[in-house]
């Protein structure tokens, strides 16, 4: 491995994190947050170099773009992480066996967390804050689209770490190459766990290639079902927020399922979307209901459903029952976030019990699927797998545990 020395250095540095108290970690996180605000111009200039190489019409442009307000939000999230209780040292189980052995299960860091992500420079700061707070070192592998931004951010983090006498190798940024991705995925004995954050193609590649453990953060093919008992004004607000708040994020709405009995209200339901020029791909019944009432209307194809658009685009499918809506989501959802809009509690509970997703909403938009919104601080990703953490992953989700056993000379018969 050409990057073996890098991985070795990070592994060594991870041991040093155990020597820091939670108060020291918090002080350093606040110092980095202050540095983000103080060095906004430096970060934004690097980000501008990345943006200059990307087509503004690309769905990834919004993910790539940093602004003063976004940097202020990133810094605020980092300060928030510093205020959270430490996830380390929690006793999650303890007992004394009949032979007198005392057992204690306590939370500890994974050690070294590898993160692979695409055009998302905010992830660099988010991952650092969560890993550092939880006592984990991190190896970052960003995409080439955000390489200038990522390198400026890691340089800033390194400056603060060195000021506090902490080895800068607790954070390492790999080259933005496919070869570096392959080396990380084969860094057995150095990287304890890998978390990919990006589209389906990236996640599939990591899962199929890695020789180290992987936590999948899934692509978000997100559906919302407007039931026959849904409130029209509530539905308008929820659908608009879920679709247009930020179209490039994984919790953005991709497909609206509408009950057949509510087709007469469909034009009013999607009316706010026209202000953002959202293109609607409607099935035949929905198309007929919207024809002449919605300006950006196209016929849906088979590919319209089960697609993560990451753009101002929305598919609409008409269903005749809750069961039909559930079957569609089963076949086309990605296990990320799903929502139902209804005033019927029985219907809502059936939906929530049936849907197999990390986050299932009733009368609320899927845009809330976010670590900060859940009160977890920043997030390292949204896990869609069932083994291990599921949903927004924050401090507790990037820790593991070990058993501590104390005896007085007992031997096993």
Domain locations in the chain? 4-218+385-406, 223-368
CATH topology of domain 223-368: Aldehyde Dehydrogenase; Chain A, domain 2 (3.40.309)
| pLDDT greater than 90 at residue 321 | yes
Read off the pLDDT band of 218 (50, 70, 90). low
pLDDT tens digits, residue range 170-199? 999 999 999 999 999 999 999 999 999 877
Share of the chain above pLDDT 70, in %: 100
Cα 240 to the center of its chain, rounded Å: 21
End-to-end CA gap in the chain = 46
Read off the pLDDT band of 59 (50, 70, 90). confident
User: How much is the pLDDT for 280?
Assistant: 97
Please state, in angstroms and rounded to a whole number, the distance separating the CA atoms of residues 350 and 225.
Answer: 13
Other C-beta atoms closer than 10 Å to the C-beta of 98 total: 5
Please state, in angstroms and rounded to a whole number, the distance separating the CA atoms of residues 182 and 39.
Answer: 33
> Strands of 171-173's sheet, edge to edge?
171-173, 137-141, 112-117, 193-197
User: How much is the pLDDT for 393?
Assistant: 87
User: How much is the pLDDT for 358?
Assistant: 93
Other C-beta atoms closer than 10 Å to the C-beta of 168 total: 16
Share of the chain above pLDDT 90, in %: 84
Please state, in angstroms and rounded to a whole number, the distance separating the CA atoms of residues 374 and 358.
Answer: 13
Please state, in angstroms and rounded to a whole number, the distance separating the CA atoms of residues 277 and 299.
Answer: 16
Q: Are 106 and 84 in contact (CB under 8 A)?
A: no
| pLDDT greater than 80 at residue 20 | yes
Please state, in angstroms and rounded to a whole number, the distance separating the CA atoms of residues 379 and 396.
Answer: 11
Which class is domain 4-218+385-406? Answer: alpha beta
| pLDDT greater than 70 at residue 351 | yes
Average pLDDT over residues 60-73: 93
User: How much is the pLDDT for 220?
Assistant: 84
Please state, in angstroms and rounded to a whole number, the distance separating the CA atoms of residues 360 and 320.
Answer: 21
| pLDDT greater than 80 at residue 331 | yes
For residue 71, what are the CA distances in angstroms to 78, 120, 230?
11, 13, 38
Do 4-218+385-406 and 223-368 fold alike per CATH? no
Going by C-alpha positions, the residue among 89, 114, 85 that lies closest to residue 18 is 89
Dihedral angle sign, alpha carbons of residues 386, 392, 398, 399 = negative
Going by C-alpha positions, the residue among 113, 119, 148 that lies closest to residue 133 is 113
Q: Are 93 and 105 in contact (CB under 8 A)?
A: yes
User: How much is the pLDDT for 383?
Assistant: 87
Looking at 37-41, 59-63, 93-97, which range is the least confident one?
A: 59-63
User: How much is the pLDDT for 93?
Assistant: 96
Mean pLDDT of the chain: 94
User: How much is the pLDDT for 381?
Assistant: 84
Q: Are 212 and 193 in contact (CB under 8 A)?
A: yes
Looking at 13-17, 280-284, 330-334, 381-385, which range is the least confident one?
A: 381-385
Half-sphere exposure of 314 (CA within 13 A, CB side): 33
Helix axes 22-38, 68-83, angle to 10 degrees: 170
User: How much is the pLDDT for 1?
Assistant: 62
Q: Are 66 and 149 in contact (CB under 8 A)?
A: yes
């Amino acid at each position: 491995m050409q990057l073996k020395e890098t991985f070795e250095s990070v592994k060594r540095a991870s041991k040093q994190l155990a020597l820091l108290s939670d108060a020291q970690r918090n002080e350093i996180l606040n110092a980095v947050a202050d540095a983000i605000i103080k060095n906004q111009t430096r970060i934004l200039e690097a980000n501008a170099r990345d943006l200059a190489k990307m087509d503004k019409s690309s769905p990834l442009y919004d993910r790539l773009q940093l602004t003063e307000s976004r940097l202020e939000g990133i810094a605020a999230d980092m300060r928030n992480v510093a205020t959270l209780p430490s996830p380390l040292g929690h006793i999650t189980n303890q007992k004394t066996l009949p032979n007198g052995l005392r057992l204690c299960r306590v939370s500890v860091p994974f050690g070294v967390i590898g993160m692979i992500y695409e055009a998302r420079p905010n992830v660099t700061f988010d991952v650092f804050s969560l890993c550092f707070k939880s006592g984990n070192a991190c190896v970052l592998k960003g995409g080439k689209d955000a390489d200038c931004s990522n390198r400026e951010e890691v340089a800033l983090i390194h400056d603060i770490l060195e000021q506090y006498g902490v080895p800068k190798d607790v954070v390492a940024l790999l080259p933005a190459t496919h070869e570096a991705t392959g080396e990380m995925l084969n860094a057995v004995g150095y990287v304890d766990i890998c978390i990919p954050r990006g589209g389906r193609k990236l996640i599939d590649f990591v899962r199929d290639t890695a020789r180290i453990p992987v936590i999948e953060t899934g692509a978000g093919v997100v559906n919302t079902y407007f039931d026959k008992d849904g409130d029209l004004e509530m539905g308008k607000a929820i659908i608009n927020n879920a679709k247009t708040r930020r179209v490039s994020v994984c919790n953005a709405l991709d497909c609206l399922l509408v009950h057949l009995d509510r087709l007469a209200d469909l034009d009013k339901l999607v009316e706010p979307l026209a202000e953002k020029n959202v293109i609607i791909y409607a099935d035949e019944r929905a198309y007929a209901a919207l024809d002449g009432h919605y300006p950006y209307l196209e016929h849906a194809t088979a590919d319209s459903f089960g697609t993560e658009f990451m753009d101002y685009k929305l598919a609409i499918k008409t269903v005749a029952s809750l069961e039909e809506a559930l079957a569609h989501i089963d076949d086309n959802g990605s296990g990320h976030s799903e929502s139902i809009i209804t005033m019927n509690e029985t219907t809502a509970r059936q939906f929530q019990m049936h849907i197999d997703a990390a986050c299932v909403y009733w009368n609320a938009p899927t845009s809330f699927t976010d670590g900060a919104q859940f009160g977890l601080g920043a997030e390292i990703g949204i896990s869609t797998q069932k083994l291990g953490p599921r949903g927004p992953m924050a401090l507790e989700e990037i820790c593991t545990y070990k058993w501590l056993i104390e005896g007085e000379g007992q031997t096993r018969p």
